[in-house]
A and B are shown apart, each in its own frame.
Chain A
Amino acid sequence: MNKFEFAVADSIQTALEELNEHPAAAKVHAGGVDLVGELKHYTAQPDIVVDISEIPDLKWIADDAEGTTIGASVKLIDVIRHEAVSKKHAALQEAASVVGSPQIRNMGTIGGNLCQRPRCWYYRDEAYHCLKKGGDECFSVAGRNRNHCILGGGPCYIVHPSDCAPALIALNASVALQSVKGKRELPLEDFFILPESDATRENVLQPGEILTYIHIPAHAGKSAYIKFREKEGFDWALSACAAALEFSGKTCRSARVVLGGVAPIPWRVRSVESYLQGKEITEETARRAGEMAVEDAMPLAENANKVLLTKAIVKQALLKLNA
């Protein structure tokens, strides 16, 4: 780990000013879990680390008739234990509950979970100067790629590692981004970008900008998050599915279905969403939805199993909501 200065911000404004002074050389620390890993592997080499975990304005959850707002520095364990989250936003509660291990959920924040860098072993290995690090090759294409993407890949084939992101997109969440220039709000779905637009980053955050709040609008539906991981105790998703459905009686009135662990961004499957509209969720519709979810899949040499997995995970998520 290189040397760096550590600045503890006591307000959003202080953090933004600090970041603005060193736009290229600063990194943000919230829970620190992902950042410390990056520092150890030299994928992050900041001169200054700005800590936003102590900012009181970023550490609360507010809930009213319009929805639930979560500060970026709220720890995952506090998201999981919050009554509004468990009662109203099951998909988020289920997703946050399967992030990492108990220790990681005690340290990591919801904002950090959305902004964490990918787990690709070439990216994390300092020996490989890959596309994501500004190099000119994605080593996974001809290399070991069983954990890589089957959808949305090229020229880099990472998968987005967040569990909370697919759940929050299914719940139609938006995020607030702030810099010294001001505040902008956008659907979380639009926060993430594919490698084809810029392989060196996973989201639209500009230097000096931080994610400050997540807002989940009130909804009348049911939601769920199903995750499959190689090591059941503690692992990133090989494939995951977040689904949020609204029903009229037994009929699905609207659906939002988002895949995790299979694409460089949380992957919304609109074909499945429109297919489910007006249907009852039977074994057969759920099976068909699973097939549709991977219709565009282009697996790499070692990850065709993700196609089968994803079909099953989508089916499972939908049937869970029907139960």
Chain B
Amino acid sequence: MPDKKGNHSEIPDGVSRRSFLKGMGTGAAILPALGKTVEAADLENRFGPEPAPITLTINEKIYHLQVEPRETLIEVLRNRLNITGTKVVCDNGSCGACTVYLDGAPVYGCMMLAVKAQNKQITTIEGISQNGKLHPVQEAFIEADALQCGFCTPGFVMSMAKVFEENPKASLIEVKQGLAGHICRCGAYAQIFKAAENVSKRNGG
């Protein structure tokens, strides 16, 4: 959970409240007199409706937190963990602003319940730069001035980075297919495609 300065408390895996509770469950299972066996199973598989402990792995860091099952991944990222690089625009699975990777695959954070993002590697826009250096797609966006208001940009960058990860020399058609789940209301498409063209050319495409 973020403190007032927005810092995140990270509890090392293995001593978390959740794994502690799981440990309790296992203990109870060998002491059937306590009648805890069923609850041990429940702890693993049932959440809510009140806030329940979950564990998320975001940009290779582990977060233990309490969420209601009705909270979407994007709400948890932004409102509970203060990881705000990823934006919310339509909140309806149409615009792509909330795109993050789940085990490397782009998904809409607004259409996924946070409880369903457990046991997966979540990557947000904050996680695609390496050692403080912008991702080549981010550099290309700046160079081509591929944005106006910038709200759609984190999502576009995530999907375009994925296109070039799969094919470093991706054609414009492949780029368009990869970006099909995004909308830019400012209409910066021409510059966005120019950025893609530059990345492709730099990769020898």
A4 touches B69 (CB 8 A): yes
Of A5, A9, A29, A33, most B-chain CB atoms within 10 Å: A5
16 A-B contacts, Cβ less than 8 Å apart? A5-B69, A6-B46, A6-B47, A6-B113, A8-B44, A36-B112, A47-B49, A101-B181, A102-B177, A106-B105, A106-B106, A107-B107, A233-B179, A234-B94, A234-B180, A234-B181
| Chain A: minimal CB distance from B66 (Å) | 14
Would you give the 0/1 interface string for A1-41, flagging 1 where the beta carbon is closer than 8 Å to chain B? 11111111110000000000000000001001100110110
Q: Is the CB of B49 within 8 A of A102?
A: no
Within 8 A of A (CB), among B87-117: 91-94, 96, 99, 102, 105-108, 110-113, 115-116
B71 to chain A, nearest CB (A): 9
Interface of B is mostly: mixed
**Residue of B with least CB distance to A53:** B116
Which residues of chain A from 97 to 111 have any CB-CB distance to chain B below 8 Å in the complex? 100-104, 106-107
The residue in chain B whose Cβ has the minimal distance to the Cβ of A101 is B181
A101 to B178, CA, bound (A): 8
Residue in B94, B107, B162 whose Cβ sees the most chain A Cβ within 10 Å: B107
Across the interface, which residues of A come within 8 angstroms of B116, CB to CB? Answer: 29, 32, 51, 53
- Report whether over half of chain A's contact residues are helix, strand or loop; otherwise say mixed: mixed
For residue B46, which residue of chain A has the nearest CB?
A: A7
Known: A6-B47, A102-B177, A234-B94. 8 other contacts (CB 8 A): A3-B48, A3-B50, A9-B45, A40-B92, A103-B181, A104-B181, A106-B107, A233-B181
- Residue of B50, B111, B159 touching A36 (CB-CB under 8 A): B111
For the complex, is A263 an interface residue (Cβ under 8 Å from B)? no
Nearest-Cβ distance from residue A201 to partner chain B, whole angstroms = 23
Asked if A312 CB lies within 8 Å of chain B CBs, one says no
Contact call A32/B112, Cβ cutoff below 8 A: yes
Contact across chains for A101 and B96 when beta carbons are under 8 A apart: yes
Let me know if A77 and B96 touch, CB within 8 A: no
In whole angstroms, how far apart are the Cα atoms of A233 and B179 in the complex? 8
B162: A residues at CB distance < 8 A: 102
> Would B70 and A2 count as touching, CB distance under 8 A?
yes
- The answer, yes or no, to whether A49 is at the interface (CB within 8 Å) is yes
* A36 cross-chain contacts in B, Cβ below 8 A: 72, 93, 110-113
What chain B residues lie within 8 Å of A234 (beta carbons)? Answer: 94, 180-181
Interface assignment of B126: CB less than 8 Å from any CB of chain A: no
Residues of A within 8 A of B39 (CB): none
Q: How far is the CB of B56 from chain A (nearest CB, A)?
A: 15
Given contacts A5-B69, A101-B180, A233-B176, contact A107 B47 (CB under 8 A): no
For A40, give its contact among B68, B91, B105 (CB under 8 Å): B91
Say yes or no: B96 contacts A103, CB within 8 Å: yes
> With A5-B48, A106-B102 as given contacts, are A33 and B111 in contact (CB-CB < 8 Å)?
yes
With CB as the reference atom, state the residue of chain A lying closest to B71.
Answer: A1
Q: State whether A4 and B70 are in contact (beta carbons under 8 Å apart), knowing that A103-B181, A106-B102, A234-B181 are contacts in the complex.
A: yes
Q: How far apart sit A102 and B44, CA to CA, in the bound complex (Å)?
A: 31
Known: A3-B70, A39-B70. A104 touches B93 (CB 8 A): yes
